[in-house]
Structure formats: structure tokens, C-alpha cells
Structure 1
Amino acid sequence: MSSGITTFAAALRSAIEASGLSLDRIQARLQARGVSVSVTALSYWQSGKRQPERASSLSAVRVLEELLSIPAGALLGLLPPPRPRGSSSRRNLRTADQPLTFPREELQALLEQVGAPDALDLRHQLKLVGLHDQCDIAPDGGQRAVTARAVFQADADGQDRWLLVYAQGDPDAEPPSLEALRNCSVGRTAASEHGLLVAELLFERAINRGETHLIEYSLANTGPPYPECRNTHYREFRRPVREYLLEIRFDEANTPRKCWQYSRTGLAEDRRELQLDTAGGVHAVALDFGPGVFGIEWD
């Protein structure tokens, strides 16, 4: 933890104690001024577990200064610059034959650790036909877990595994816990210090040309605090996928005001607003998509 974070947390905690307000009352007063910050986030800020980084969070700190009757900039001036996201940013697109949002060399090193050094250059004999991601968001806005169901079709005989590549949005978080739920088991795994995970998912049986295979697995994070996901979840597709269904489930204590689906293929971008369902979730579907990035983000 840096000294900037410690100083900010101590100053915020002192100001809150001097105000005599509980975190619940502060959260309610922020909400009344059109600022949405969870009690959990406020608690993390004053304890030093997290620091405000997003533009919306920094705006909330400005309102906090006014609400707590302290000089403007007294808290903001104690915050260090936001941590660099580097090449893992989802806006740093690459060509279709490369990983889209992280360096090829970082992925290559992990592929060598799991015994698949030529995976990026070989013609793939296993086609991803359909994928369904269910992403669960915790009350603090971090990512609690992702459960995925994938359907593959073999273009050659003897296909018995799939290499999962997963990029953790929060480089400071531990790698998620990977669990095989259906029709597969976890083989060799490797993770980088920047939150990139590569793992073998071994099929229960090898499939031959034309056959399909369904697997299900989950990636669970520890918390609270849960890893930051920058209010987004997405998949990168280096090859076309017939159908991708993305579902985001929010905790009822912290549902977003607005959600959007977005896609990027080459230089083309598309973005459209989505509506929350009655259960506090949202979904989007991509058909015959890729190569590119497809995801959902929220405010």
C-alpha cells in the first residue's frame, strides 16, 4: 500500500469521524445529490483497501469534501495518480491474428509453461461454436465469479482439450480459482503477475471430426474486496464464434443506472444501451461475431 493511499484513507476516516455521520447516512446524502457510491466502497476508501480511481469515483470525492465540510481538494490532493492499466486495456486493439488486449509475448510465456508453445501459430482444429458467460457482480462493484458454458466442434479427430485464456481486470488481485463443473477437468495452469491466466480444460473423452462437446467451468474470486472489473466484462475472439451470450447479474444492493453492450471489430465500433430485467440483470447476444471484442459495461 502506498503512502498516498494511506494518507487519503486516514484523512477521509478523520473527516467522517469529525462529521458524526455514519456511512449509511453519508451514502444516503450522496445519493440525494445524484452521486451513487455504495457503503462498501466508502468503507474500503477509509480503510485503505481501495482508492477512488474512476472519473465517477473522483467526482464522488469532490461531493464528499463538501458534505463533510472540509476544504475543496483536501481529499483529492492526497490521491496518487491512477494505476496504469498498460496493454491490458480493452481499448488497445490488435490485429485479428494476435491477442487483442494483452501482449503476445506475455501469453506466449504462459503457453510454454502449460506445454503448448505453438498454440498461437498452429491451425486450430477445435472450433468454438457457442459460449454463454454469466458474470456475477458483488455489492462493492467487483467481480465475484464468472460461470461459462462452451460448445466446441472438432475439425479433426482426437480433440481432447481446450486452452482457456483469462485476463483478470485488476492486476493487483490474486488469480481466480478455476473449477471444472461439467464434462471436463483442469489440467496444467500458469498465471502471470499481471493477472493473465492460461489453463488446460481436458475433455472427458476425445472427440472426432464433426462431433461437438459441451463443457462448463467457473472462475471465482475471493473477497471482499473483490477484484475491480472497471464496470465491464468482455470476451476477446481471435476467430469467429457462431453465438455468444453474455449475462451480467448485479447485487440488489448496488444495481447500475445504465448499461451498454459494445463491440469492436478492426476499426469498427458499435454501442447500444441495454435495459435491466426484473431480476436486476442484463444480457447481450452476438451472432456470427469475430474476430473482435464483445462486452457489456455499466455506469
Structure 2
Amino acid sequence: MTPTSRPEIPATELAQRIGDAIRPAVQKAWTSDRVQMLRRVIQGAHMPNASGQKLLTAHHEVVMANRAERSATTTLVVESTAEDVRGWSISVDLAQQQVSAEALLGCRLGRVIPVDEGAQVYEFLFEPPLAKGDNRRTQHRLTFTGDAECTTTGYSLSRPAQLLTLTVNFEGEQPKKVWQTTKGAQEDAETKVVQELSVAPMVEVVLSNPGPGLHALEWEW
């Protein structure tokens, strides 16, 4: 799809335009040129953004097997703060893998738009659209095909939430160490280690009132 010649989205509004990001630990290494391309694609496609929605809770659950990410299931509960809220979009770094997306609850998959050979934007639409004051629980899943070794996963919030849960299920081999990390929404923010976690087949953190930025789990094989 060729972007239309409209004014470019300011950097401060980009996160609201694309909603919250899946696999942000990969995306944080994107060059500024790729970010600019992402802006143009989303703007040209007139995709729904995260405005008009208050994020109440988010649960992001990842399944790992043979050191590779196999699936990521995200459950959101939102409250509409405007009329006729249509949906949201997410950006996904393909990381040299094939990715398929499916809507599981409260939404349907809309357009899938390539940004370049390494990224795509997925559009999810509320079924039906939300009226002001409506609450909605949605769930969608990304499935990954490939053997790229993964050492981190997380969820990037473009807006505050009441609750964020990050869960990683390690099928088979478990890592040697696991950390919880955070990175603010500012462009020059640094990644900070919050705590080291106990290694187990399932590792989970529950965050109350997390602010915008990247919230992640990282590990060492």
C-alpha cells in the first residue's frame, strides 16, 4: 500500500497511533529510518489507533520451545472513552520468522500491512465497535514459525494500565537466569533491571499501575 501525502505523524503521537507493541524487545533496536517508515505506512493506511480507549488490564503470555518463541497470546480489557471506537493496531518485528495472527475473543483481524521485509502492522477491529463507556475483553494470538533463538519478550505500553501480567512458559529447556526489566517511553531511556526471578517452567510477573514504556522479561540460556 502506498502511503498518502499527508503530514507526518509526530514522534510523540506514534505510540498512540499503533497502540501497544508486541515483541518490543526486538523493536527497540529499530533504526530511525524504520520508525519513519512505520509512521508513513500507518498514516497512509488510516488504521485505528489507541485513542478513545482506556487500558484497564493486559495479560501477555508467551510459549517458548527449543529456545525459540512459538506463540504470544495477549488478553486486553479496555474501557471506551469515546463513541464509535473501532479498534487498534500493533506492530510486529518478524525477526526472520513467519508470523500468523488470529483474533480469539471480542475482535476480528483486519488488515495486515508489511512495513518492510522485517516488520508488519496488524489491525484488530472490535466486534461490534465500542460506544462511550463500554468495556470489552479481547484476545489475540501470534504464532511464530522458525528457530531464531530468543532471550527476551515483553510488552510496550503506550498508555498507563491498571494491571499488566507477563508470563513465559518454557517447554523443555529452561534458562539459567531470568530478569525483569523496564525501559521508559522516552527516546533516551535506559533499560533497567528491576529484579532477578526464580527459574521455573513458568515465569510470571504481575505489575500494578505500570506506566508507558517497555516492560519485559529477559533470560540467559
Contact 1:258/1:298 (<8 A) preserved:
yes
1:160 to 75, 83, 86: 86
Query: What are the within-5 Å matches in structure 2 for residues 193-272 of structure 1?
Result: 193-223=116-146, 225=147, 227-229=148-150, 231-252=151-172, 254-265=173-184, 266=186, 267=189, 269-272=192-195
Q: Which secondary structure does the structure 1 equivalent of 2:62 belong to?
A: strand
Deviation at 1:113, TM superposition (A): 5.2
1:288 to 206, 209, 217: 209
Aligned to 1:128: 55
Deviations 1:30-79 (A, max 9, x none): xxxxxxxxxxxxxxxxxxxxxxxxxxxxxxxxxxxxxxxxxxxxxxxxxx
**Which runs of no fewer than 5 residues in structure 1 stay unpaired?**
1-94
Amino acid at match of 2:154: Y
Deviation at 1:196, TM superposition (A): 2.3
Q: Equivalent pairs: percent with the same residue?
A: 25
CA RMSD, 1 decimal: 2.3
Aligned counterparts of 1:284 and 1:209: Cα–Cα separation in 2: 31
TM-score, normalised on structure 2? 0.77
Greater fraction strand: 2
Aligned to 2:8: none
TM-score, normalised on structure 1? 0.58
Deviations 1:240-283 (A, max 9, x none): 1221101001112x111111101122446342111134xx1101
Query: What are the within-5 Å matches in structure 2 for residues 90-101 of structure 1?
Result: 97-99=13-15, 101=28
Deviations 1:209-262 (A, max 9, x none): 221111111100113x2x333x0001222221221101001112x111111101
For these two proteins, the number of residue pairs brought into alignment is 191
Q: Which secondary structure does the structure 2 equivalent of 1:199 belong to?
A: strand
Query: Do structure 1's residue 298 and structure 2's residue 219 form an aligned pair?
Result: yes
Contact 1:161/1:201 (<8 A) preserved:
yes
Stretches of 4+ aligned residues off by more than 4 angstroms: 95-100
